[in-house]
Structures are given as C-alpha cells and as structure tokens.
Amino acid sequence: MRVLGIETSCDETAAAVVLDGRDILSNVVVSQERLHSIYGGVVPELACRAHVESLLPVLDRALSDAGLGLDGIDAVAVTYTPGLVGALLLGVAAAKAICLARGKPLVGVDHLQAHIYAAYLTPTPPVPPHVSLVVSGGHTNLYLTRDVADHELLGSTLDDAVGEAFDKVASLLGLGYPGGPRVEAAARDGNPKALRFPRTQLGPGSLDFSFSGLKTAVLYHCRGQNASLKTPPRPIPDLPDVAASFQAAVVDVLVARTFEAVEARGARALVCGGGVACNGPLRERLAAEGAARGIAVHLPPKKLCTDNAAMVAGLGYQLALRGRTADLALEVVPTS
C-alpha cells in the first residue's frame, strides 16, 4: 500500500510517499526557517502564507520523486494535530480535496505519534512495547508505546518545551534562531562542567519536566547582579561555557527522566524523535546509557527527526491497516 503523507503543522511544508509503512519512496520538505529567522521564532501568519504557496509544488514533487501519479496512491495521510491551527487546516484541506477528487481513503495522523514512528522507517525498527521520548519546539513528552498506534503519556513539560528553552537561551545569548543548532554549535568550544545550572526534578517518581528555571538561571548568570537588564550585556565573555553548560543540564534531565521511565515500565527499548533529537550530545548520551543498561536505543536519522511527511505517511499506513480512517469532516485539533 502506497500512502501519500502531508505535513503542515508548523513551519515546514512536507509531502512524502511511503510503501507499506516502511520504504520511503519520496520525502520532500520545504523549510521556512529563513523566513522566520529574523523574527526569532515562527510567525503563524507568515507560516500559513508560505504553506499555501508551497503546497502544490511539494505534492507534485513528492509524486514525481516517487515516480508515481495519484493513481499509484492508495491512501492519503495528513497531520491533523497538534500544531498551528491555520497551518494544520491547509494540509488537511489539501488531503481531503485529493481524497474526494480521487476516491482515496483519508487518514488523520497525530504529529507526535508520527515523530515516534520515524524510528520505524529505519532498517532496524523498534519492537513495542518501548518508551518514547518526543522532543521538539512545542513538546517534551515521554510515552509508553504499546503499539505504533497506542501510546500512554507518562510525562511532559509543565512549562517550556525543550526546543523552546533552546530558542529562548539562544536569543538571550544573541545566537539567533533556530536555537537548537546554534546553541549546540556554540557549545562545541565550551566546557559543559564550567557552570552548574539546575536540573529540575519534580518530586519523587514524577516523569514530568520543567525548563523555565534553567532558562532563568542562564539569564541570571549572564546579566550578573544588574537585575534591571532584560538582556545580558554583550559580548558574553564565557558564551561557549554557558551554552555547553546549559545544554549539559538539558541533556542530563532528559536522559535521567527517560531512563527512569524505562526502568519504571520495565521497557527493553527506547525511541527518541522530534527536532531536538538532532542534538548531538543528547543522541550520544542516550546511546551510551542504553548500551550500559542493555536497552536498545532507536534514534532516527536527523532528517527524519525534524518535521517531515514520511513519518506521517508511515504511521498513516499503520492506522489504515487498523481501520482508523477519517471522513471528509475531519477537524484539526491544535492542542494535544
């Protein structure tokens, strides 16, 4: 079964064709990163304007890269939650239109579950049950995955998402947007042990996260005693150490909670997905901890961690197999 996937939940317009939930026949992503960078974050109205322009070129390319016409497509899967409402609406409108036009089944896909499914598009897919960590600009969620379409939420962030914390600290340090890769790059020349930023633990047994205290600690460190300053004076003399120490604190917290979840649920495998799963130190630490504990750690390649439609098409296939198709009245759900 060949599934056309469509993804427009945030600032990437993406379409892909995946065969039987495993083989990626095409994977097209048009990123709007440059469009939003001067604003220091995603501007929803700009994102939506770009989506409506990119939709058809991206769809057309996804089919031609796969060497197919719409006749060769058996179902259309689309992200309907969570994300920017105006952006989700556009992918869903296009998906419904294609389904009505060509008599194809429609499948609504949860973007966060799709991030987990990215690991199933690799040569050695995980075997459920496993723990799943989804880390992105909008989410920091831990799940117990019993099946690719059955996830129990174990914990999530009570304030900033981890990607948001990277963006805010990057902005504080004058590194620009997007924060994740910029902080990681700055941290390469720094000492992760130079500064001891807080690792927030929310009560015994809690698998939730909190990053706002960490972000504030970085601010206090950089502006020193001068509380009237909203942004620290530049240049920041120990910027690489600040970046490296902040990143180390984030990674420590993510890795600690994740393996607590693995232990609590007796899981034998772990999946990490989402844009922040591109972070090098996070990948290394998860892999090392997993190896030390005999836990299989599945980290999708970076281009499947950032937003893409292959993961949507792949999960869409699994949902279709389970009879979980949608009808033309499918509504978007901006918050999960």
Partner 1 sequence: MRIAAFETSGTLGSVALAQDGALVSERAFEKGLVHGRELLPSLRDLVAAAGWVIGDVDLFAVSCGPGSYTGVRVGVATAKALAWALGKGILGVPSLDALAENAPADAGERVCPVVDARWQQVYAAVYRRNPARDAGASGEVRRWLRDGELLAVRPEELLPRLPPGTFIFGDGLDRYAALFERPDLRRGPEPPRHARASAVAALAWLDARAGRRDDPFRLVPLYLRPTEAEVKFGSKAKN
Q: Which residues of this chain interact with partner 1, rule CB under 8 A?
A: 38-39, 43, 45-46, 48-49, 51-53, 55-57, 59-60, 70, 85-86, 89-90, 92-98, 100-102, 327-332
Shortest approach of partner 1 to residue 318 CB, angstroms? Answer: 24
Interior angle at CA 111, CA 110 and CA 117, nearest 5: 90
- Which residue lies nearer to partner 1 by CB, 86 or 280? 86
Q: How far apart are CA 163 and CA 165, in angstroms?
A: 5
- Which residue lies nearer to partner 1 by CB, 26 or 140? 26
Nearest Cα to Cα of residue 283 among 267, 263, 299: 299
Q: How far apart are CA 147 and CA 57, in angstroms?
A: 34
Task: Please name the helix (run of DSSP H) or strand (run of DSSP E) that holds residue 5, with its range, or none.
Answer: strand 2-7
Shortest approach of partner 1 to residue 74 CB, angstroms? Answer: 15
- Which residue lies nearer to partner 1 by CB, 50 or 131? 50
Shortest approach of partner 1 to residue 50 CB, angstroms? Answer: 10
Q: How far apart are CA 282 and CA 269, in angstroms?
A: 17
Burial class, 179, CB count within 10 angstroms (exposed 0-12 / middle 13-18 / buried 19+): buried
- Which residue lies nearer to partner 1 by CB, 48 or 195? 48
Output the six-digit token pair for 333.
Answer: 């759900």
Shortest approach of partner 1 to residue 330 CB, angstroms? Answer: 8
Q: How far apart are CA 248 and CA 189, in angstroms?
A: 13
Shortest approach of partner 1 to residue 108 CB, angstroms? Answer: 13
- Which residue lies nearer to partner 1 by CB, 39 or 220? 39
